[in-house]
Structure 1
Amino acid sequence: MTVTREVELEGHIIDSGTMGAAFSIVMDMGGSFTVEAFDIGRRKEEPSYARLLVEADDPETLQSIVHELHQHGANPADPTDATLEPAPADRVVPHGFYSTTNHPTFVRHDDEWLPVENMEMDCAIVVEPADDDRLADGSDTGPRAYTKVLNAVEAGDRIVTGDSGIRVEPPERPRDAGGTFGFMQGGVSAERPSESTIRKIATAMRETNEAGGSVLAVCGPALIHSGAREDLARLVREGHVDMLSAGNGFAVHDIERDLYGTSLGVDTETLDHARHGHKHHIYAISEVIREGGIEAAVESGTIESGVMYECVVNDRPYVLAGSIRDDGPLPDTITDAVEAQNAIREQAHEADMVLMLSTLLHSVAVGNCLPSTTPVVCVDINPATVTQLLDRGSAQAVGMVTDVGTFVPLLAETLAEDA
């Protein structure tokens, strides 16, 4: 005896490949389907609609198919309220809890669709009921739904379980890829005309800033080694970059360049190895520790230039997340992994556009916290790095396989020309 379930797909489901993906999922997982309704949008701005009857040999197989379809934006045709179960203990989720994607998500509660706040992948969804306390305007404060990472779950949190009462809306690829971020749908290429792409990225950054949004730069030490330090500092100083996320190594070599003219002991202009240059980064760490931190070293005049200098004097917030291999580390580096993750998460939720510049480790950390709707630019000399980062799920992303030491100066120059 077979079991069935109706699901719906709506939006630009043909252009984005969503409908074809849904067909493949059903067949690959041992099910079958019947297209009960199919309305095709006949203009660029018109969405399409399809209703499928999914069939499987047993309830377990059907549930698995519907769950996978749900991750790709297919939603039950007969939605019910989401199932809520209390967390049995701190940092423990109920069996069968719903694990989030990074796509915009809604939860049905008391026959109302609640948008899930702070979307990111691999989280639980907590639903809070309406607060009886009235606000000044006479309204109450709820209900609301939001994500929580595992280490933040508290005993008694009402956690969404199963797949019922959940709607996922993956960002689509419309027929008309216009708008500020329309060009960010071309995947990865080492042959795309760099200057035209950089100009479009500069336009997107400028329009993000003009709209009151924030641009986050995620940076690796290679940016300093490649000689792009002064140009990134300029982007920070002129307000094109609003926040910085990096590791201990990035800040150390940025400061080393200011104090000793080297990065990892190498003069970034002449490429000469300085005598005893291998000690410079340790000396740089020691001097900052002596001052009590980066901000104190800037205020005392010990640090007089560079990316970290510009962040301090222009009040641009930064997060330096530590790792097991760090020298020092600097006093500003967050060495507690959970604390660093929370700081990164706060930045990611605030960012309206992200530049990932030659760092796989920190870009993956930030990418894990981003909703799929946040525009992302990823630049790395290694094509595998760019592909891996973009495959994490941003619908508005562009990857450039190029030297970050070439990209950042060209970006700074383009933004200056158009000012």
Structure 2
Amino acid sequence: MSFQMPTYQAPDFSKPAFTGAPCAKSAPAPRDGVAPENYHATSIYPEYFKLGGTWMLAGESRMDCVAVLEPGGGIATKEFRNLRGGDEVILGRTEDGSEGIYVHYDGFSKAGASDGSFAFRTGRSRETAFSKDYDSLYELLKYEREHGFIAWVLGPACSFDADARAAMSGLIENGFANVVMAGNALATHDLEAALLRTALGQDVYTQQPMPNGHYNHIDVINKVRGCGSIPRFIETYGVKDGIVNSCVRNEVPLVLAGSIRDDGPLPEVIGNVYDAQDRMRSYIRQATTVICLATQLHTIATGNMTPSFRVIDGQVRPVFLYCVDISEFVTNKLRDRGSLAVTSIVTNVQDFLVHLWRGTAK
């Protein structure tokens, strides 16, 4: 089985509904951070705007942002907090072309898709067979390693097991990661495992609690802070394995977003939530495949900023978004928040990583 990129089917703008539609209206933002009344909120899907009589595709999108006309004639997608007074914001609450705005929901629809008739087990749950998803993901990652940009969003559970750590490290070492995004906990417990073979004080192989093990993660944070940076800690203490070490050695960016519950935190953790969002967004703008593992809040945050498509060299291609969690609540929550293009896999992430590593190594 080899990966086949889905073909994008653009709207037929020669249809009367489009040729007879008015041009999109706009109005200036009244001040920084505030959109004008009746602003158009963007989605994860390709969006077209009729400007000067021509339907134009916004080059990128993001859920719950606004479309802004750029001085050079393009269309930018901006978060409300990044609006500047005077920005020309597109107006309109319809998406069918009648106000010069068209949201294209089915550009990547597959032939033979469901006709809507009743069928059992059409959802994604712990009873779903995911074998086909694994096979597809193996081939997708091999394709993306050569042609795309793979972003990982990792929860701390990825560092609690020796085999999972080794599998994720192997994926990074072999070019299957272009950026890793996480929080303080993932990096802390991965470095704890590298130095002390524990995560939250439990042996990462046997899962046995170690004497006074509850000190281990904060001892590691303290040592890293004493060194001044994660790379300096790795060098000083001779760290040889783990997810963070693989990122540092292979120059894969590691974006650590802070949380109100963080202890320490590690020096590289970004404490300002909007700075962290901007850093994550800078990589999501490049991403063609996003894989989120066992982290509800980081997954939802990433899903909110991930579009369903990317325009590369003038061609529209899909962005593949995966959510992997042992909790159906988490996978369903992401869909409920609007990330309808997500592929959900309900499983233990340690097993997922080991299977993925073995599958991509074939």
Under a length normalisation based on structure 2, what TM-score does the superposition of the two structures give?
0.85
Counterpart selection for 2:158 from 214, 223, 228:
223
CA offset digits 1:381-404 (Å, max 9, x no partner): 111111222444456532111111
Equivalence for 2:349: 404
Letter in 1 for 2:102: R
Q: The residue matched to 1:368 in structure 2 has which SS?
A: helix
Letter in 1 for 2:153: V
Equivalence for 1:157: 87
Instruction: State whether structure 2 residue 324 is matched by structure 1 residue 388.
Output: no
Deviation at 1:156, TM superposition (A): 0.8
Equivalence for 1:126: 68
Equivalence for 2:22: 80
Counterpart selection for 2:210 from 257, 274, 287:
274
Deviation at 1:96, TM superposition (A): 1.1
Deviation at 1:302, TM superposition (A): 4.1
CA–CA distance in structure 2, aligned partners of residues 98 and 235 of structure 1: 40
Query: Is the Cα contact below 8 Å between 1:221 and 1:253 reproduced in 2?
Result: yes
CA–CA distance in structure 1, aligned partners of residues 277 and 204 of structure 2: 32
CA–CA distance in structure 2, aligned partners of residues 391 and 252 of structure 1: 31
Instruction: State whether structure 2 residue 241 is matched by structure 1 residue 323.
Output: no
Deviation at 1:243, TM superposition (A): 1.1
Equivalence for 1:89: 31
Equivalence for 1:288: 224
Counterpart selection for 1:349 from 269, 279, 285:
285
Change (3 A) 1:46 1:105: closer
CA–CA distance in structure 2, aligned partners of residues 357 and 299 of structure 1: 28
Q: The residue matched to 1:325 in structure 2 has which SS?
A: coil
Query: Relative contact order (alpha carbons < 8 A, sep ≥ 6): 1 or 2 greater?
Result: 2
Counterpart selection for 1:364 from 289, 300, 304:
300
Query: Is the Cα contact below 8 Å between 1:187 and 1:399 reproduced in 2?
Result: no
Query: Is the Cα contact below 8 Å between 2:11 and 2:104 reproduced in 1?
Result: no
Change (3 A) 1:100 1:194: closer
| Rg larger in structure | 1
Query: Is the Cα contact below 8 Å between 2:62 and 2:307 reproduced in 1?
Result: yes
Under a length normalisation based on structure 1, what TM-score does the superposition of the two structures give?
0.74
Query: Is the Cα contact below 8 Å between 1:375 and 1:395 reproduced in 2?
Result: no
CA–CA distance in structure 2, aligned partners of residues 187 and 300 of structure 1: 49
Change (3 A) 1:224 1:149: same
Letter in 2 for 1:325: R
Equivalence for 1:17: none
CA offset digits 1:167-225 (Å, max 9, x no partner): 11113532247xxxxxxxx7513233344431221111111222x20111111011112
Letter in 2 for 1:346: S
Counterpart selection for 1:166 from 78, 87, 101:
101
Change (3 A) 1:406 1:244: same
CA–CA distance in structure 2, aligned partners of residues 144 and 196 of structure 1: 40
CA–CA distance in structure 2, aligned partners of residues 118 and 229 of structure 1: 34
Q: The residue matched to 1:188 in structure 2 has which SS?
A: coil
Segments of 5+ residues of structure 1 without an aligned counterpart are: 1-44, 53-74, 130-141, 178-185
Change (3 A) 1:310 1:414: same
Q: The residue matched to 2:361 in structure 1 has which SS?
A: helix
Counterpart selection for 1:213 from 125, 137, 148:
148
Q: The residue matched to 1:108 in structure 2 has which SS?
A: strand
Equivalence for 1:144: 74
Instruction: State whether structure 2 residue 271 is matched by structure 1 residue 335.
Output: yes
Instruction: State whether structure 2 residue 141 is matched by structure 1 residue 199.
Output: no
CA offset digits 1:246-303 (Å, max 9, x no partner): 1111111111101111001111211111111001110111111111111222233443
Mean Cα deviation higher: 364-373 or 168-177: 168-177
CA–CA distance in structure 1, aligned partners of residues 73 and 123 of structure 2: 39
Deviation at 1:363, TM superposition (A): 0.6
Deviation at 1:46, TM superposition (A): 12
CA offset digits 1:356-414 (Å, max 9, x no partner): 11111101111010112321121111111112224444565321111111110011011
Query: Is the Cα contact below 8 Å between 2:161 and 2:205 reproduced in 1?
Result: no
Query: Is the Cα contact below 8 Å between 1:199 and 1:411 reproduced in 2?
Result: no
- What percent identity do the matched residue pairs reach? 33
Query: Is the Cα contact below 8 Å between 2:62 and 2:304 reproduced in 1?
Result: yes
Counterpart selection for 1:264 from 179, 187, 200:
200
Q: The residue matched to 2:210 in structure 1 has which SS?
A: coil
Query: Is the Cα contact below 8 Å between 1:187 and 1:397 reproduced in 2?
Result: no
CA–CA distance in structure 2, aligned partners of residues 294 and 47 of structure 1: 49
CA–CA distance in structure 1, aligned partners of residues 135 and 92 of structure 2: 45
Change (3 A) 1:393 1:209: farther
Aligned length: 329
Segments of 5+ residues of structure 2 without an aligned counterpart are: 1-8, 94-98, 114-121, 310-318
Equivalence for 1:103: 45
Deviation at 1:332, TM superposition (A): 0.5
